[in-house]
Structure 1
Amino acid sequence: MITNLIKSDPNILMGKPVVAGTRIPVDLILEKLAAGETVEQIIRAHPRLTEEAIRAALAFAAQAIRADVVYPVEEAAL
């Protein structure tokens, strides 16, 4: 499964999910994509990443969001 590329180890970044074999956290990849960076730009900035690893980060995030947890969303002040 593609999410096998994502690992969590308490000795690496305090257990944050990272791309296996790197110290690149899933949340960094998600933030870069949300900011409008392309997959190619992310890979150029982090040559140890692959397109498959970026897809794995997205799949991991989707799986995490499926959990029965309420995530409060703050409304922007008008």
Structure 2
Amino acid sequence: MDYYAHISINPEVRFGRPCITGTRISVADVLGWLGHGQTIAEIQEDFPELTQHQIQACLLYAADRERYLRIAG
């Protein structure tokens, strides 16, 4: 899956934090919900406008960002 179609950064939305395209829901919000044990289905119950692909795109975005994170040194 290509997460680029689902994640956007706009300085006028959520102070430029990466968000699901067309929403004000940030990648960090989704990661936090998943990290606290919510399932994709539970997130979709709260936000029915989100698709499974959009939620998975948040995980892919985070994994991609982590890959390029500079380690000490």
Q: TM-score, length-normalised on structure 1?
A: 0.84
Return the alpha-carbon distance in structure 1 between the equivalents of residues 69 and 54 of structure 2: 26
Give the number of aligned pairs: 71
Q: Is the 8 A contact 1:3 1:57 kept in 2?
A: no
Aligned to 2:40: 39
Aligned to 1:15: 16
CA RMSD after TM alignment: 1.3
Aligned to 2:67: 66
Q: Is the 8 A contact 1:18 1:24 kept in 2?
A: yes
Return the alpha-carbon distance in structure 1 between the equivalents of residues 10 and 71 of structure 2: 25
Q: Is the 8 A contact 1:3 1:59 kept in 2?
A: no
User: 3-state SS of the aligned residue for 1:31?
Assistant: helix
Q: TM-score, length-normalised on structure 2?
A: 0.90
Aligned to 1:75: none
Q: Is it true that 1:56 corresponds to 2:36 in the alignment?
A: no
Runs of 4+ deviating beyond 3 Å: none
Pair 1:24–1:68, CA change in 2 (3 A): closer
Task: In structure 2, list runs of 5 or more residues that go unmatched.
Answer: none
Task: In structure 1, list runs of 5 or more residues that go unmatched.
Answer: 72-78
